[in-house]
Chains A and B, each alone.
Chain A
């Protein structure tokens, strides 16, 4: 690396020596590396879940407008199940219960799971947040007047095309504030991946404070990092929301 950060790290060592505030994640190379890896894992998990949950929301909202009663019923069942049960228990169910069936036993008798714990966490959290997103997009779609859909149909749009080119762009704009809230929630919920030993930030922080016995410092670092990440998301989404506003139209 061209930039030499060593003086900055040394500042934190001095901070420890003078005040006793023990931020090993800055001056200890090993702790710094593992905390940074934990941070990256967290961000990766968040990014995967954000995208996947929005996709689930868009697809689910489309299915909810389907003419087939069975499809609607299944989607509704999925939404209600994921909304009304604890995400942590869902995660355990996916990882321990379903994961116990998805194992390959190799020649030496050692069973290796097909799906890793990171993937299980990503799947579970995406479905959890997706259940809320379906409802949010459905409410947005309901806000699009029936006449707009009729106009699209009269121009020869198929149901899928009308959804993709006419309904969804309008619905998406009006759903954005509610979507923001849910995505912030998702970011905060990614910490439960700790429970199935995904090496994300909370998990790594736990290891560090067990080794270095600097619980208060690490807890504060964690809180600051998470609040900043949420702040970043809110800021980006706010900008996006403003960029997407329909000129001359302000939602009530």
Chain B
């Protein structure tokens, strides 16, 4: 730690998001909603003056249950992709620190490949190249579009989790390995009883961050034809066929995602602060 040794540091440690200079509170939310209500109110007045159509708020409320269904699919896909990605990514990350060179190189290659390819391309890959049903013996397992795209989403998640695991293991001071060795622990014991328990704590904030990234990536599945919130918004807009509805409707959808993701971002920051090494 050269930076902390001298009285006049060249640079202090780089800590991303360590200090939130400002946070949204419930009052900002209220103010924002009030502003939104006024803005929509003006549009409403105009719309009703123009023709005897139902108001914007009324229309949005009418479609809210349908939108909620779509959004629920988004959340379900994000949960499943996260579960699959973590379940495969953790062993892959451990393979990256394996003592066997072929295992290490192979898992490194897989990780880098899926980490560096675009999510949308991977989605297309799974959507077009996976069969629409799986035949095992006599049982036929159908693979609907949403399931295939969930698998597509879980591939980059897997690679990112793998990198998280590798990074976390490497961030544990080497002295810990030596100490475990000096009390005659095997490599497996060292990993499961000393190293990994400490890694879980370090991995939680970036893992949550990854989940937020995954959630905002789920609308990508609309491009490959899954009827989630984004697709449904498009359908609603084309069935209403009113241009004044475009801005409020898309803003409404953005708001749904914001309300879901912002608390996750705050919680990630709070955890990071709590786990920070002083």
Contact = CB atoms under 8 A, between A and B. Distances in A.
Given A76-B22, A92-B230, A227 B250 contact: no
Interface in B12-52: 12-19, 21-22, 24
B22 A86 contact: no
B12 A223 contact: no
Contact of B11 (A188, A190, A251): A251
B105 interface: no
Interface residues of B, number: 55
A199 B216 CA distance: 24
Interface of B: 1-3, 8-19, 21-22, 24, 112-113, 116-122, 124-125, 128-129, 212, 216-220, 222-223, 230, 234, 237, 243, 246-247, 249-251, 253-254, 257-258, 261-262, 265
A189 B223 CA distance: 14
A84 interface: yes
B22 A73 contact: yes
Contact of A144 (B11, B19, B129, B216): B11
Given A97-B247, A188-B117, A84 B258 contact: yes
Nearest to B257: A85
B11 A216 contact: no
Contacts of A143: 11-15
A48 B119 CA distance: 21
Contact of B121 (A93, A139, A140, A202): A202
Contacts of A73: 22
A184 B156 CA distance: 14
A97 B237 CA distance: 11
Interface string A162-195: 0000000010011100100000100111111011
Nearest to A219: B125
A96 interface: yes
Given A97-B247, A145-B9, A216 B129 contact: yes
Contact of A252 (B3, B8, B125): B3
Contact of B129 (A86, A90, A215): A215
Contacts of B24: 80
A184 B116 CA distance: 8
Contact of B18 (A139, A175, A188): A139
Given A191-B121, A215-B129, A252 B13 contact: yes
8 contacts: A89-B257, A97-B249, A142-B19, A145-B10, A194-B120, A219-B121, A222-B121, A251-B14
Given A93-B251, A135-B17, A223 B117 contact: yes
A230 interface: yes
Contacts, number: 163
Among A83, A136, A178, chain B packs the most CB atoms within 10 A around the CB of A83
Nearest to B249: A97
B135 to A, nearest CB: 20
A192 B220 contact: yes
B11 A139 contact: no
Contacts of A87: 216
Interface of A is mostly: helix
B153 to A, nearest CB: 13
A194 B116 contact: no
A143 B9 CA distance: 10
Contact of A88 (B122, B220, B261): B220
A86 B219 contact: yes
A145 B258 contact: no
Given A86-B219, A100-B243, A252-B13, A191 B118 contact: yes
A246 interface: yes
Contacts of A72: 21-22
Contacts of B220: 86, 88, 192
- The 10 closest A-B CB pairs, nearest first, are A84-B261, A188-B118, A93-B250, A86-B216, A97-B246, A191-B120, A230-B116, A191-B118, A86-B219, A97-B247
Contact of B16 (A92, A139, A251): A139
Contacts of B216: 84-87
B124 A85 contact: no
Nearest to B264: A84
A59 interface: no
Contacts of A173: 11
A162 B112 CA distance: 40
A202 B124 CA distance: 10
